[in-house]
């Protein structure tokens, strides 16, 4: 399932050459799915759908169920792992029709379960109509994708200024597998911003054991005294789009510009390791989004799907009814 689908195979993933949205994500990794399963007590439901043997269109991936058997997206998952593939040729009309068939099949599969939270589709899945037609709620979520090799000049001047500041202060970046030390940095940010971390040293070690050190990568920036001040954890697979999974900073390192020096190091290291780019995992929180926008890459929309509760669905049905339209006309008079 982790085989790359490229133009030399019998299938292509819509074949948008050079567009990072259509590069397979590093979360297309069953070993990673096992980590989500074991860390949050989930069950994987694998998606393996196809139209017919003639068109050769298929949809592969997975979603997760909680202990109650409801669909639940775990923390630290930017979107559900999903790949659509189509027979080469046929153009956009063919791909669109085939996707609508696959999307309908996926909706029928999802209908077997309730939603405990929402799921986000990968950036390449831009057509949410099958879900809307199946009466799911479709909303927009956002992320930033940085294509490798990147254009350094796209970053705003303050990024380069903070990087130089950290270098002058003696900070240096490197890979690390000291999960205890990295967790302390993650906890510092969690405490400062008042959000639940939901990670532990055992869970980080389990991820490294299941996924492998090359795929589950820890990076640190240390000051001149060797004290860790900034941490980034990334998912990586060669020839896939890497995923920024988590990051944290001590207050002094943040003031000294250490995160920006570390990000630069991470991007360069992933490029050398064969990554096609990196997904910065979400831009839906205002402060986080502004920070990620500093790299100068365009905002990328994603589709978030959830099930309608009964009351909102009834309100929309009423609003679209003859009575609802008549009342709105009277209100405008």
Most confident option among 194-198, 255-259, 291-295: 255-259
Give the pLDDT confidence of 173-182 residue by residue, as tens digits.
999 999 999 9
Coarse DSSP helix, strand, coil percentages of the chain, rounded to the nearest 5 percent: 40, 25, 35
Give the Cα separation of 105 and 3 in Å (integer): 23
**Average pLDDT value for residue range 18-43:** 88
Q: At residue 20, does pLDDT exceed 80?
A: no
Query: Considering the chain, what percentage of its residues have pLDDT values greater than 70?
Result: 85
Give the Cα separation of 272 and 19 in Å (integer): 19
**What does the CA dihedral 176, 167, 193, 205 come to, rounded to 10 degrees?**
0
Give the pLDDT confidence of 127-149 residue by residue, as tens digits.
999 999 999 999 999 999 999 99
Q: Where does the pLDDT of residue 63 fall: very low under 50, low under 70, confident under 90, or very high at 90 and above?
A: very high
Give the pLDDT confidence of 245-288 residue by residue, as tens digits.
999 999 999 999 999 999 999 999 999 999 999 999 989 988 88
Task: Give the per-residue pLDDT at 322.
Answer: 60
Which of these, 14, 111, 1, 121, lies nearest to 57 by C-alpha position? Answer: 14
Average pLDDT, whole number, for the chain?
87
Give the Cα separation of 245 and 71 in Å (integer): 21
Specify whether the CB–CB gap between 246 and 233 falls below 8 A.
Answer: yes
**Which is more confidently placed, 318 or 103?**
103
**Which is more confidently placed, 205 or 94?**
205
Contacts with 204 (C-beta within 8 Å, 6 or more apart), sequence order:
179, 182, 183, 218, 233
Q: At residue 242, does pLDDT exceed 90?
A: yes
Residue 244, both tokens: 């920024």
In DSSP notation, 248-316 reads: EE-HHHHHHTHHHHHHHHHHHHHHHTT--EEE-----SHHHHHHHHTT-PPEEEEEEEEEPPHHHHHHH
Task: List C-alpha distances in Å: 181 to 22, 199, 218, 222, 255.
Answer: 35, 13, 11, 11, 20
Task: Give the per-residue pLDDT at 329.
Answer: 62
**Average pLDDT value for residue range 207-230:** 96
Which of these, 82, 40, 50, lies nearest to 63 by C-alpha position? Answer: 82
Q: At residue 21, does pLDDT exceed 80?
A: no
Task: List C-alpha distances in Å: 132 to 136, 137, 328.
Answer: 5, 6, 24
Task: Give the per-residue pLDDT at 328.
Answer: 59
pLDDT-wise least confident of 54-63, 196-205, 312-321: 312-321
Q: At residue 198, does pLDDT exceed 90?
A: yes
Give the pLDDT confidence of 299-322 residue by residue, as tens digits.
999 999 999 754 444 454 455 556
Task: List C-alpha distances in Å: 101 to 95, 250, 303.
Answer: 10, 49, 18
Q: At residue 11, does pLDDT exceed 50?
A: no
Q: At residue 209, does pLDDT exceed 70?
A: yes
Query: Considering the chain, what percentage of its residues have pLDDT values greater than 90?
Result: 70
SS3 for 67? Answer: coil
Task: Give the per-residue pLDDT at 325.
Answer: 62
**Where along the chain do its domains lie?**
11-141+303-314, 149-275
CATH number at 149-275: 3.40.630.30
């Amino acid at each position: 399932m982790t085989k790359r689908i490229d133009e030399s195979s019998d299938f292509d993933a819509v074949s948008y050459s050079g567009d990072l949205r259509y590069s397979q994500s590093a979360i297309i990794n069953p070993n990673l799915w096992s980590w989500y399963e074991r860390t949050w007590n989930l069950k994987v439901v694998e998606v393996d759908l196809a139209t017919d043997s003639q068109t050769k269109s298929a949809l592969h991936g997975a979603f997760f169920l909680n202990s109650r058997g409801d669909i639940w997206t775990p923390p630290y998952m930017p979107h559900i792992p999903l790949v659509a593939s189509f027979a080469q040729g046929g153009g956009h009309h063919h791909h669109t029709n085939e996707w609508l068939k696959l999307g309908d099949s996926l909706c029928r599969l999802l209908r077997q379960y309730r939603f405990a939270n929402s799921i986000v589709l990968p950036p390449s899945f831009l057509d949410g109509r099958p879900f809307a037609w199946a009466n799911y709620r479709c909303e927009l979520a956002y992320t930033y994708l940085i294509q490798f090799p990147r254009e350094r000049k796209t970053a705003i001047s303050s990024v380069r200024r903070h990087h130089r500041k950290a270098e002058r202060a003696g900070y240096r970046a490197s890979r690390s597998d000291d999960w205890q030390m990295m967790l302390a940095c993650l906890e510092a940010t969690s405490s400062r911003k008042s959000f639940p971390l939901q990670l532990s040293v055992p869970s980080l070690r389990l991820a490294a054991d299941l996924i492998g050190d090359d795929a589950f990568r820890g990076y640190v920036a240390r000051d001149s005294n060797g004290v860790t001040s900034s941490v980034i954890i990334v998912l990586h697979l060669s020839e896939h789009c890497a995923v920024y999974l988590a990051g944290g900073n001590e207050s002094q390192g943040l003031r000294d510009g250490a995160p920006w020096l570390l990000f630069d190091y991470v991007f360069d290291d992933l490029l050398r390791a064969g990554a096609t780019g990196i997904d910065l995992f979400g831009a839906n929180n205002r402060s986080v989004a502004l920070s990620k926008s500093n790299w100068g890459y365009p905002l990328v929309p994603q589709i978030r799907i959830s099930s309608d509760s009964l009351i909102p669905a009834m309100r929309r049905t009423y609003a679209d009814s003859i009575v609802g339209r008549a009342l709105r006309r009277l209100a405008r008079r």
